[in-house]
């Protein structure tokens, strides 16, 4: 039995579950294994750990899991009649239980959530540390609440740049007087993160030992170097899946940032199938 934590509408979940079922394997897909209808019993002591999960009319002992893939946060997906504060509390409790339970399973777990990033994505400044450790070069960033400094930074790109909230992956263009005025109002309250204007990006997705590109990758040694750096980054982060945003500029390639849940929809069908195959091998503890 394989457990896929996430939405059945997710292209990654759909591809992986399809491939497993073609092999004759049983698959359980749920966004909330320890919440909602899920019932878990986990006996834990210094000597032993034993758990069983009741979900979807099935009762599954931990020894029956052959592999797990995590694509969601695992908290309750339906707020029902709960007040917002109580719903947030329930989500945190169930996610914490999932984090610990996944660590206890004897089978391979692909992209298990980690305590320091379980409730949030890493910000771009934090990502830079990991990207540099993995051997990537990165474009410049500026965190400031001084307008003059921001305008000096923007002169590199003819007075334009992008504002990147630290709590979101959304980027806002700053290229008109009204947008600069809005940015100045934000600076009165907190420093803002700024980077170069939006430009076409190239995405490198990694699933265990499979690497695919969303567009035309660099050729020759450059491509191999970037894919090795992506593998190094995955090892540093302790994950099997990630997706890098890259930009090519005057012959060099820079890493803008990364996410731990590759968007399968950004790749054609054949590449989605290749990624799914890499995930299946990882859940089976097999390397190509």
pLDDT at 115 (0 to 100): 65
pLDDT in tens, 65-108: 999 999 987 766 766 666 777 777 777 777 788 888 888 899 99
- What is the third-level CATH fold of 2-115? Rossmann fold (3.40.50)
Joined tokens for residue 207: 């699933």
**Residue appearing with tokens 């809005």:** 182
Q: What is the pLDDT of residue 49?
A: 85
How high is the pLDDT of residue 1? 93
- Residues 6+ positions from 259 with CB-CB distance below 8 Å: 121, 169, 242, 243
What is the tens place of the pLDDT at every residue in 225-255? 999 999 999 999 988 999 999 998 777 889 9
CATH of 141-195, one of 1.10.3470, 3.30.1490, 2.60.120, 1.20.120: 3.30.1490
The secondary structure of the chain as a DSSP string is -EEEES-TTSHHHHHHHHHHHHTT--EEEES-TTSTT-EEEEEE-SS-EEEEEEETTEEEEGGG--EEEE-S--S-S--TT--HHHHHHHHHHHHHHHHHHHHH-SS-EES---GGGTTSPPPHHHHHHHHHHHT-----EEEES-HHHHHHHHGGGTT-EEE--TT-S--EEE-SHHHHHHHHHHHTTS-EEEEPPP---EEEEEETTEEEESS-PPPHHHHHHHHHHHHHHHHHHT-SEEEEEEEEETTEEEEEEEESS--GGGS-HHHHHHHHHHHHHHHTT---
pLDDT at site 32: 85
Q: What is the pTM of this model?
A: 0.81
Provide the pLDDT for residue 89: 74
Domain ranges of the chain: 2-115, 124-137+200-283, 141-195
- Fold annotation for 124-137+200-283: D-amino Acid Aminotransferase; Chain A, domain 1 (3.30.470)
Give the chain's residues under pLDDT 70.
75-76, 78-82, 115-121, 287-288
What is the pLDDT at residue 103?
A: 87
pLDDT reported for residue 271: 94
pLDDT at residue number 4: 96
The pLDDT assigned to 90 comes to 74
Residue 117 pLDDT:
59
């Amino acid at each position: 039995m394989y457990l896929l934590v996430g939405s059945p509408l997710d292209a990654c979940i759909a591809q992986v579950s399809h491939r497993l079922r073609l092999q004759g394997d049983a698959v359980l897909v749920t966004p909330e294994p320890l919440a909602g209808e899920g019932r878990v019993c986990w006996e834990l002591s210094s000597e032993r750990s034993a758990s069983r999960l009741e979900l979807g009319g099935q009762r599954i002992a931990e020894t029956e899991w052959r592999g797990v893939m995590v694509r969601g946060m695992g908290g309750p997906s339906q707020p029902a009649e709960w007040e917002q504060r109580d719903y947030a509390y329930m989500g945190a409790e169930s996610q914490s239980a999932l984090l610990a339970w996944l660590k206890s399973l004897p089978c391979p777990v692909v992209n298990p959530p980690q305590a320091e990033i379980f409730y949030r994505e890493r910000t771009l400044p934090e990502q830079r540390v990991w990207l540099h450790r993995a051997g990537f070069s990165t474009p410049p960033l500026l965190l400031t609440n001084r307008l003059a400094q921001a305008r000096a930074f923007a002169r590199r790109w003819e007075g334009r740049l992008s504002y990147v909230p630290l709590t979101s992956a959304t980027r806002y263009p700053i290229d008109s007087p009204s947008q600069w005025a809005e940015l100045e109002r934000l600076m009165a309250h907190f420093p803002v993160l700024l980077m170069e204007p939006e430009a076409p990006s190239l995405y490198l997705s990694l699933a265990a030992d499979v690497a695919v590109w969303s567009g035309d990758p660099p050729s020759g040694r450059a491509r191999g170097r970037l894919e090795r750096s992506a593998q190094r980054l995955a090892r540093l982060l302790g994950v099997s899946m990630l997706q890098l945003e890259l930009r090519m500029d005057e012959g060099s390639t820079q890493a803008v940032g990364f996410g731990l849940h590759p968007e399968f929809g950004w790749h054609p069908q054949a590449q989605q199938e290749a990624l799914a195959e890499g995930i299946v091998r990882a859940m089976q503890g097999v390397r190509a």
